[in-house]
Amino acid sequence: MGALNEFLQTKGIYTLVMILFFLGVYGMVLSKNYMKKLMAMNVMQVAVIFFYLCLAQKEGGMIPIFDPNVPDAASYINPLPHCLMLTAIVVSLGTTGVAIALLMRIKEVYGSVEEVEVIRRASK
């Protein structure tokens, strides 16, 4: 059990993130509904964001707001990945927005967001 514990302690979270990421990819590839594909895409993006946040953590680190009593930089967690992810979240929001706009238009034109149906009507 010790080995498993150690694995979960050190790498467990990364494994979960990886599973989440590939779940997203899996959903994007295999689901037949464009809306579901889009949701899977969001899952994938969230996995990447988690990955960054996990990287930033360290044991015993405190939130990165400067406290004059703790001048040592090593005792804070790394704020940079969080900042990066703020940007990434905005980007993923933008992507989702564009995607939903496209889906609405697809629905308007083809009357469906089911892949099979849309392709059938598109190839007509």
**Judged by CB under 8 A, does residue 10 bind other proteins?**
no
For residue 62, list its beta bridge partners: 76
Site string for other proteins, 60-99 (x = CB under 8 A): --------------------xx--x--xx--x--xx--xx
For residue 114, list its beta bridge partners: 33
The closest of 55, 56, 57, 46 to 89, measured between CA atoms, is: 46
Query: Considering beta carbons, is residue 5 or 104 the nearer one to other proteins?
Result: 104
Residues 33-62 interacting with other proteins (rule: CB under 8 A): 34, 37-38, 41, 44-45, 48, 51-52, 55
**Judged by CB under 8 A, does residue 116 bind other proteins?**
no
Q: What is the DSSP letter of 86?
A: H
For residues 101 and 70, give the distance between their C-alpha atoms in angstroms, rounded to a whole number. Answer: 48
**Is the C-alpha dihedral spanning 85, 88, 94, 98 positive or negative?**
negative
For residues 81 and 87, give the distance between their C-alpha atoms in angstroms, rounded to a whole number. Answer: 10
Query: Considering beta carbons, is residue 70 or 109 the nearer one to other proteins?
Result: 109
Of positions 86, 102, 111, 116, contacts other proteins by CB under 8 A: 102
Maximal C-alpha separation, the chain: 71
For other proteins, the binding residues (CB under 8 A) are 21, 25, 28, 34, 37-38, 41, 44-45, 48, 51-52, 55, 80-81, 84, 87-88, 91, 94-95, 98-99, 102-103, 105-106, 109, 118-119, 122
